[in-house]
Structure 1
Amino acid sequence: MNEESGGMKQIVVSLLLLLCVFLIGIFGYSIIEGYHPIDSFFMVMITISTVGYSTPTDLTEAGKVFTSIIILASITIVVYAVSNITAFLVEGRVNKLIRRRRILKTIQKLENHFIVIGAGDLGSTIANEMSKRNYDVVIVEKREERLRDLTKKEGGKLIFISGDATEEETLKSAGVDKAQGLLACLPDDVDNIFVVLTARGMNKNMKIISKVTHAENINKLSYAGADKVIPIQEIGAHRMVAMMLNPTIIGFLDSISQSGSLQLRFEEVRVPESFPEKGQTLEALRIPQKIGLIIIATVSGGVSKFNPSASTVVKPGDSLMVLGGHEQVLKLQSFLNGDIER
């Protein structure tokens, strides 16, 4: 349970307790003293509010004892309610609640967005990279301090949700039912398994990728519903070996994937359905000359063709694996859509 909902629950409980005192008082005076319900309500009101016009002289002994109990109970509950409301206001929970509701309304408008679970170094880096590529990203993190630091650092570019991602309600708040992808980046494999299992049950069509720390948990994550499982430790080990033995190749790969100043990117660009049905050859499209991208491979019907020849025909639904700058990739998408003259 998050802090905002906890504060609201305490206030609601206080009001419910106060309502119970009213109801018990009305029924009590009606039974013990035989008062009309309106007179009973009035008696409870002046007793709880401590207004009292005068000390009732017509009360029975039982009525006096009952009135004393009502006074003690009401004072206790009122003090409890006032303290909760004061804490809610003083600790800034109202502002947090308003901010959270504003975020939830923003998320409700999103479709085909991505959800990153865990705002550690890995999760925040993933979210930043996807945000740079103009994708809507929602980050779920339960550590309030970490969220505050990232919110100040990012300046509102990313959407953050505070909560435990292993709980269904938190994933629902992140818009998991309308998301196109989820990346589980929690440090604990068990938590990632719970997240994947819950998310898969809520969205059967969403693509789910999860990191894994221990290799023995790879199959468990796959069984839970992950489409891809990334063994971070193993990949890191292979990269360190490659960096030691093949530094030139790794330097080139770094220029492709490195964030910061604009570098080369290895991207997949899908050919839209609006593209001519019969297709066009790469020679006719002249993508390297017009766009400045290098075509590494084409994918058609699940079959990849590396270093495609000029006679390779590109049709709707195919994918082009290209190497170049981000602006060039955007230009290629516009080119294939027909926004730029072919």
Structure 2
Amino acid sequence: MYVLIIGAGEVGRSIAANLEKSHDVAVVERDPELAEEITYSFDVLSLQGDGTELETLQEAGLEKANLVIACTESDHTNIVICGTAKTASDAFTIARVRRRTLLNTWEGAQSAFGVDFIVCTDLLVAQTIFRISGFPQAQDVEMFAGGLVRMAEFEISPESPLVDQRVMDADEYDSMTFAGVFRDDEMIVAKGDTVFQAGDRIVVIGSPSSVKEFAMATVTDTTSSTNDVVIVGGSEIGFQTAREFEAHGFEPRLIERDHDRAREIAEALPKTFVMESDATDTEFLSREHIDEADIVVAALDSDEKNLLVSLLARRVGVDRTVAVIDNTEYTDLFETVGIDVAINPREETAEEIVRFTRTDQTEKIAMLEHDRAEVIEVELGPESALTGHQIAESMADLPECVVIGAISRDGELITPRGTTVPQAGDRVVLFVDATVLDEVSAVL
């Protein structure tokens, strides 16, 4: 596949890094320094120029492009790029936007703007925050097989009963599979004799009920829940997050300092209790019983402010904190100092876009630990190495760093075991080391 990426910011670079080994990739960037950096950093064609101009796109290979990805920092620029590309090619076009109103307009008019698919960054982040909030202490949560399967990543605390326990001893859940373990900079495929250690980040795949039961029993105390939600910041992400919680029956609290913005949000979200105040005011936090919140989401307009708010929330006794960060280099820092989950909007956007470059049978992907591993959902065809063979036998054709986490067949969940025989049409959810993803995809 020939992929044309316009915009070499964090999203564009992340996509290029993910695709450079498996696809022909060209990147167009207006900034000469960024364009030069791409040339030396990735095995892709880099072109300095304006992606809204047809001549620039054609110079970058528009006529042979299968996919055009517009991911600059400007919503309108991305819309124009896709429209321009459509005038001279049949390439599938993807536009990254932040404003949900553009997404709503596109959804209401088929093929509006000449865009085949829109990725709304703020909405993606809000949905991710909501998913994570439903699983105690989860670092990451994704749905697969139409919601039938959950993938979750948890960190093991020193107090967890999993510490020093083997996978075979902990594997007591009928519809859940231990997939992988991240330990410092090492990725370990979960096997029966793998021993869990404090600080490990473990990945499990299974039914929503089993994953939640596992989390409640081994990762956190059984009293943990998410009922009282506090969102700090009336940014677009903060607004969309409150709206997402409202849509699922919650009545979140939202703190916004600006009077006009606070009033605007209060009028738009009738089930959200909007408080006009400075979230760094400890007296206010105490007076409004913020310490009783089950989760505090920091969605202000800077990483530094989100870090400060999250630390203050932890100091007053909040159980769980989620912070939105723009700088990916801060992710590890945030989690090191005690922030439970740090979410980067650009990483969420890149992950959503990359799935369009997968093979036709790949339904969905989730990137873990900055793409050190991926969880993918694949529909098996008659020629797949897994079809018609017991898993214990067919796994010999796959690299060792692959785990089959779940199988969906005709809307029913099947927990894979060595004697399980996958069939054509099954949707299989696999945990895969990112370095062997292309090799795995070739035999699936």
Q: With the length of structure 1 as denominator, give the TM-score of the two structures.
A: 0.51
Quote the RMSD (CA, aligned, Å). 3.7
Q: State the 1:185 CA deviation.
A: 0.5
Which residue matches 1:187?
73
| Pairing 1:281–2:388 present | yes
Structure 1: which amino acid aligns with 2:116? D
Structure 1: which amino acid aligns with 2:68? L
Report the secondary structure of 2:63's partner residue.
Answer: coil
Which residue matches 2:43?
157
Which residue matches 1:236?
125
Structure 1: which amino acid aligns with 2:114? G
Q: Which has the higher contact order (CA 8 A, sep 6+)?
A: 2
Report the secondary structure of 1:161's partner residue.
Answer: strand
Q: Any conservation in 1 of the 2:69–2:94 contact (CA below 8 Å)?
A: yes
| Pairing 1:147–2:35 present | yes
Q: Any conservation in 1 of the 2:404–2:428 contact (CA below 8 Å)?
A: yes
Matches within 5 A, 1:1-342: 112-131=1-20, 133-152=21-40, 154=41, 157-204=43-90, 206-221=91-106, 222-240=111-129, 242=131, 246=135, 248-251=137-140, 252-253=152-153, 257-258=367-368, 263-267=372-376, 280-283=387-390, 286-288=393-395, 290-291=397-398, 292=400, 293-296=402-405, 307=414, 310-314=420-424, 320-335=428-443
Report the secondary structure of 1:166's partner residue.
Answer: coil
Q: Any conservation in 2 of the 1:114–1:179 contact (CA below 8 Å)?
A: yes
In structure 2, list runs of 5 or more residues that go unmatched: 141-151, 155-181, 183-365
Q: State the 1:141 CA deviation.
A: 0.8
Q: Any conservation in 2 of the 1:288–1:295 contact (CA below 8 Å)?
A: no
Report the secondary structure of 1:157's partner residue.
Answer: coil
Q: 1:319 to 1:141 in 2, by over 3 A?
A: farther
How many residues get paired? 214
Q: 1:225 to 1:124 in 2, by over 3 A?
A: same
Structure 2: which amino acid aligns with 1:198? T
In structure 1, list runs of 5 or more residues that go unmatched: 1-111, 337-342
What is the aligned-residue identity percentage? 21
Structure 2 distance, partners of 1:286, 1:129, is 31
Q: 1:170 to 1:311 in 2, by over 3 A?
A: same
Structure 1 distance, partners of 2:367, 2:430, is 13
Task: Give the structure with higher Rg (CA).
Answer: 1
Structure 1 distance, partners of 2:87, 2:72, is 19
Give the structure with the higher percent strand: 2
Structure 2 distance, partners of 1:253, 1:196, is 35
Structure 2 distance, partners of 1:209, 1:120, is 16
Give the structure with the higher percent helix: 1
Q: Any conservation in 1 of the 2:376–2:430 contact (CA below 8 Å)?
A: yes
Q: 1:137 to 1:273 in 2, by over 3 A?
A: farther
Q: State the 1:135 CA deviation.
A: 2.2
